[in-house]
Structure 1
Amino acid sequence: MVCVGIAILGVVSVITYLQHPVFGELPSGERLAHIERSPNHADGVFRNQIDTPMRTTDQSEWSMWMETIFGEKGQPRPPGAVPAIKTDLKALDPAQDVVVWLGHSSYFVQLGGQRILIDPVFSTNAAPIPAANKAFEGTSLYTADDVPAINALLISHDHYDHLDYPTIQALKPKVRQVIVGLGVGAHFEAWGYDMRTVREADWNEVVALTPQVQIHVTPARHYSGRTFTRDQSLWVGFALVSPERRLFFSGDSGYAPHFAEIGQRLGPFDWVALDAGQYDPRWANVHMNPEQAAQAAEDLRAKALTPAHAGRFSISPHDWDDPFKRITAASQGRAYALWTPEIGRPIHLDGRAQSFTAWWENGAMNTQPQLAAGAKEK
């Protein structure tokens, strides 16, 4: 009886915890009816453009994650603090087109006079359990207080390392507009956002921030879900387009033909940030490895590439610096420049030459100024 009582208590505790607002809300009502009309939704879930098994092995998902957490690893976390620079985001000239990497897949962007946040995670962990998935030492430089008023908040999908409940709550007074994939608005509605400011978009829809600055919501190859129910909201990438520049953010994505299609339709891109970390052969369909990211950059006709989804959290068993080492090697002789700033260092998009060290190797290489492909030094 004692064992049964403990089991019941455990189940009740889990059910109770799952009511916490951090888990968000599933689409229902008119939102769900709208989702069901999407050509990218079938049989109750969103679908990728090509067949995408979550796992490439017969290993059960539970076994896979237990092996990832407790199995043999190299060095998934750095031995000390990660080099970083805290740029004053509020002091940046809003007339300048600039990108600042905030770690992992979080970016602050200034484009055409608009200030844009992409997938901000200011919490010191990226999981619904506070002790889980802690950020690397030295990488938690920014909070919502450090961010100026934001014209648009872009969220690629609803996983915890991209949609962070405490961050979203703290940013609420500063955000003018939210742009997300279909279904993700259910979380924002549950978290008290004014839904007149939240735009849910399908793949290939366009949202105009101003007559000059547009956000193209693009396909990605991934999945979604904050609990055990998956693929109820859409995962997306973003192309940010102004008369002067074109930027691209892949979100989480496996390699697929959509990169070439986007490159032909919306490219060439002045700068792209591509998923190049947290890869593993067991989930090779939903995250690119660095070599695939290098190819995707060429598919997109990118002039400059910055690797994303690395440098702050460890979600896969690979060494923490493996993405940066491999993308450096894979980018040799490519048609684009590789830009690898430290967290917080601005990337200027005005064509100037910029120096980015191999900071994961204590600045031992890549110290020469680097121009985007086809640019001229100013």
Structure 2
Amino acid sequence: MKRLIFSVVLVMLVASAVSLPFVLNAGFGQLPQGEQLTAVEKSANYRDGKFHNQLPTPGFTGKKNMLAAWWEFLFTKRENARPQQQLPTVHTDLASLPLEQDTMVWMGHSSWYLQLAGKRILIDPILSNYAAPFSFLNKAFAGNDLWTAKNMPPIDLLIISHDHYDHLDYATIKALMPKIKQVITPLGVGSHLRYWGMDPAKIYEADWQQTVAVSEDLAVHVLPARHFSGRGLKRNQTLWASFMLVTPQQKIYYSGDSGYGPHFKAIGEQFGAIDLAIMENGQYDEDWKYIHMMPEETAQAALDLNARGVLPGHAGRFVLAKHSWDDPYKRLAVASRGRGYRLLTPRLGEPVLVADKAQVFRAWWE
């Protein structure tokens, strides 16, 4: 009996030691509780205790078992996974950009700064040099640290597409919090922000096909994506989304993270021609082919959306897949030849003038 009690106590101590870093790390956030959980449970996209995609979407699709696939991903050295030198950059002072000029700036990976209808907007900002719960994991490429919270202008609107670490960063949110006036997230994601100290009055959580009127001249439509969520062991307790930003002059789409699916064509039919589409293009693999798009699928999704211009993102900063760092750009450039849209490839920090239909960018990855 004593041996059994000792074994049980030992197991409990080991479990406590393993879980302690997670308990102490506020960056893991907090899942919806109370009124927020009640709102989540009312969603038509939430059932059986979790959110669901519009189509069945297995997270793992590889031929190996999942353990073998993870071992290969984590420990197999891959050629050209990171660039040999710093990516070309343009050191743009965001605060100095004319506010009346609709402008978009790629800040690396899926982080974007936008000026639309006189509003300063941040999408999925990651100002830290890592995309993980701990700072020693998943380091950014060298030189991807052009901005800090100190040199960011006041932000009228923060948009978070979902709660994965490469889109929602604790340190970034804490540092930017005094500058953020309003936040739009999919259902449940606001729980992390409130836990970190964000004023609940600033946060608007929305379900797919809901619209937030930011001002008389800017509406944000929260739309479907094909992905998943989670910052710990429990998945899909918060929603993931794409977004359409509509002003009297422009329609700007942001795909968030998404595998290919019929939702792109449905969105294109719902909104008509789209001026610019910021599209996921990176971190793909056959082992998870339904939750991230191959570059050729990104090109097809742009056509489905009736996009006039395409800005690729979700690459150029972190290693989250097995492809080389430049493969997304090479493949999308080939897949975009002869298509009915302009492929825009600004350098890190290089302003894109939304109204300038003749602006040209070079293939900086070559």
Range of TM-score over shorter length: over 0.9
* Residue of structure 1 aligned with 2:213, choices 208, 216, 220: 208
How far apart are 1:9 and its partner, in Å? 5.7
* 8 Å Cα contact 1:246-1:267 kept in structure 2: no
* Residue of structure 2 aligned with 1:14, choices 10, 18, 21: 18
Alignment of 1:145-160 (within 5 A): 145-160=150-165
Alignment-derived partner of residue 368 in structure 1: none
Alignment-derived partner of residue 277 in structure 1: 282
Alignment of 1:239-258 (within 5 A): 239-258=244-263
Matching of residue 180 in structure 1 with residue 185 in structure 2: yes
Determine the C-alpha separation between the residues in 1 that align with 2:340 and 2:306.
8
Alignment of 1:86-105 (within 5 A): 86-105=91-110
How far apart are 1:129 and its partner, in Å? 1.7
Determine the C-alpha separation between the residues in 1 that align with 2:272 and 2:126.
28
SS at match of 2:175: helix
Q: Supply the AA of the counterpart residue of 1:47.
A: H
* Residue of structure 1 aligned with 2:83, choices 67, 78, 87: 78
SS at match of 2:107: strand
* Residue of structure 1 aligned with 2:300, choices 285, 295, 298: 295
**Which has the larger displacement, 21-30 or 348-357?**
348-357
Unaligned residue ranges in structure 2 (runs of 5+): none
Determine the C-alpha separation between the residues in 1 that align with 2:271 and 2:236.
27
How far apart are 1:325 and its partner, in Å? 0.3
Alignment-derived partner of residue 29 in structure 2: 24
Determine the C-alpha separation between the residues in 2 that align with 1:71 and 1:286.
22
Alignment-derived partner of residue 112 in structure 2: 107
* 8 Å Cα contact 1:272-1:304 kept in structure 2: yes
Q: Supply the AA of the counterpart residue of 2:311.
A: T
Determine the C-alpha separation between the residues in 2 that align with 1:136 and 1:296.
28
Q: Supply the AA of the counterpart residue of 2:258.
A: S
**Which has the larger displacement, 344-353 or 55-64?**
55-64
Alignment-derived partner of residue 349 in structure 2: 344
SS at match of 1:133: coil
* 8 Å Cα contact 1:153-1:179 kept in structure 2: yes
Alignment-derived partner of residue 314 in structure 2: 309
CA-based RMSD:
1.8
Determine the C-alpha separation between the residues in 2 that align with 1:62 and 1:167.
32
Determine the C-alpha separation between the residues in 1 that align with 2:71 and 2:187.
31
* Residue of structure 2 aligned with 1:133, choices 115, 123, 138: 138
SS at match of 1:239: strand
Alignment-derived partner of residue 40 in structure 2: 35
Determine the C-alpha separation between the residues in 1 that align with 2:9 and 2:67.
25
Matching of residue 330 in structure 1 with residue 353 in structure 2: no
Determine the C-alpha separation between the residues in 1 that align with 2:17 and 2:201.
35
Determine the C-alpha separation between the residues in 2 that align with 1:166 and 1:267.
38
Identity %: 48
**Which has the larger displacement, 265-274 or 109-118?**
265-274
How far apart are 1:14 and its partner, in Å? 2.5
How far apart are 1:225 and its partner, in Å? 0.2
* Residue of structure 2 aligned with 1:238, choices 239, 243, 250: 243
**Which has the larger displacement, 30-39 or 101-110?**
30-39
Normalization by structure 1: what TM-score? 0.92
Listed one character per residue, the Cα deviations across residues 71-116 of structure 1 (whole Å, up to 9, x for unaligned) are 2523111111111111000000000000000000000000011110
Listed one character per residue, the Cα deviations across residues 206-250 of structure 1 (whole Å, up to 9, x for unaligned) are 001101100000100000000001000000011110000000000
**Which has the larger displacement, 229-238 or 59-68?**
59-68
* 8 Å Cα contact 2:62-2:69 kept in structure 1: no
How far apart are 1:8 and its partner, in Å? 6.1
Listed one character per residue, the Cα deviations across residues 318-353 of structure 1 (whole Å, up to 9, x for unaligned) are 000000000000000000000001110000011242
* Residue of structure 2 aligned with 1:161, choices 159, 166, 170: 166
How far apart are 1:61 and its partner, in Å? 3.5
How far apart are 1:10 and its partner, in Å? 4.9
SS at match of 2:358: coil
Determine the C-alpha separation between the residues in 1 that align with 2:309 and 2:265.
16
Determine the C-alpha separation between the residues in 2 that align with 1:13 and 1:289.
40
How far apart are 1:37 and its partner, in Å? 0.9
How far apart are 1:59 and its partner, in Å? 3.9
How far apart are 1:306 and its partner, in Å? 1.1
Q: Supply the AA of the counterpart residue of 2:19.
A: I
SS at match of 2:296: helix
In the superposition, relative to structure 1, how do residues 8 and 33 fare at CA in structure 2: closer, same or farther (>3 Å)?
A: closer
* 8 Å Cα contact 1:74-1:317 kept in structure 2: no
* Residue of structure 2 aligned with 1:198, choices 167, 185, 203: 203
Alignment-derived partner of residue 367 in structure 1: none
Q: Supply the AA of the counterpart residue of 1:276.
A: N
Listed one character per residue, the Cα deviations across residues 101-147 of structure 1 (whole Å, up to 9, x for unaligned) are 00000000000111100000000000012111111111121111221
Q: Supply the AA of the counterpart residue of 2:193.
A: F
SS at match of 2:217: coil
* 8 Å Cα contact 2:221-2:244 kept in structure 1: yes
Alignment-derived partner of residue 264 in structure 2: 259
In the superposition, relative to structure 1, how do residues 28 and 173 fare at CA in structure 2: closer, same or farther (>3 Å)?
A: same
Aligned length: 361
Determine the C-alpha separation between the residues in 2 that align with 1:286 and 1:357.
29
